[in-house]
């Protein structure tokens, strides 16, 4: 997807069937070799933070902790980079999230001109 630089991508995060968080690729930050997801305002029906886990990268795996509004933390969600290039330049879609602790991540490419067919 990295070659389709004009398109945008939305990530939808679900926990036990409940939609908790959506974010767009351009809202995410790459720093120190890690993707950071946006703080969506601490709304009660969303996740309020994706934070790097205390566990560092292992080969091509990275870990994140999900902080839920209830105060619960889902620890050590595993992500694996499957892209061919520099993860800083490639799209988040090039990552695979492992479905642990009943967390599901849906990634959808969003057409910037949906009515231009």
Q: What is the pTM of this model?
A: 0.53
User: In Å, how far from its chain's centre is CA 40?
Assistant: 13
E-only strand ranges, the chain: 8-15, 18-24, 29-31, 34-36, 49-52, 61-67, 73-81, 95-97, 103-110
Tokens of 95: 């990552």
Q: Where are the domains of the chain?
A: 8-110
Sign of CA dihedral 58, 17, 109, 39: negative
Per-position pLDDT tens, the chain of length 117: 445 456 777 878 777 777 777 778 777 777 766 666 665 554 444 444 566 667 666 666 667 777 666 677 777 777 666 666 776 666 655 666 655 567 777 777 777 666 655
Sign of CA dihedral 5, 39, 34, 93: negative
């Amino acid at each position: 997807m990295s070659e389709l630089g004009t398109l945008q991508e939305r990530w939808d995060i679900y926990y036990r069937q409940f939609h908790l968080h959506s974010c767009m690729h351009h809202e995410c930050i790459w720093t120190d070799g890690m993707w950071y997801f946006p703080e969506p305002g601490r709304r009660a029906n969303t996740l309020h933070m994706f934070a790097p886990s205390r566990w560092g990268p292992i080969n091509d795996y990275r870990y994140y902790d999900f902080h839920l509004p209830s105060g619960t933390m889902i620890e050590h969600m595993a992500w694996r980079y499957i892209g061919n290039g520099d993860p800083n330049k490639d799209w988040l879609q090039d990552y695979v999230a492992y479905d642990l602790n009943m967390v599901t991540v849906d990634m959808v490419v969003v057409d910037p001109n949906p009515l231009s067919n």
